[in-house]
Amino acid sequence: MSKRRIVAALAVIATLGSIASPVWALNRHVTIVNNTGYTMVKFYGSNTGTDNWEEDILGNDVLPSGSSVDINFNDQSGYCKFDFKAVFEDGDELVRQNVNVCEVGTFTYN
């Protein structure tokens, strides 16, 4: 294959990549704010194409009331819609489905 054809092929690939990649390039950072009066002890965020909650994003940490945490929901799936599940120290669980993490910059639990 000639150099000219290789350069042309790479240009086509680059163009296709820039057309197909906007969903992949979207910002999926969301600040989770806890204003409930209770400490959040677990937090899950799974894309809507997943049948389970995956891992606790807070891990060994907790999110006291009045605090916030920035979470990057980019799981390399291309999804923008995520389900959230927050578990609090009193055992209450709050689930919110279909949160668009590509559009929402802050999500507040009250």
Domain ranges across the chain: 26-109
Element (H, E) at 23: helix 22-25
Task: Specify the CATH number of the domain 26-109.
Answer: 2.60.40.2890
pLDDT at 26: 87
Which backbone phi and psi does 67 adopt, to 5 degrees?
A: -110, 170
| Positions of the chain with pLDDT lower than 70, given as ranges | 1-25
Return the structure tokens found at 102: 């590509």
pLDDT at 24: 53
78 contact partners, CB below 8 Å, separation of at least 6: 23, 24
pLDDT at 19: 45
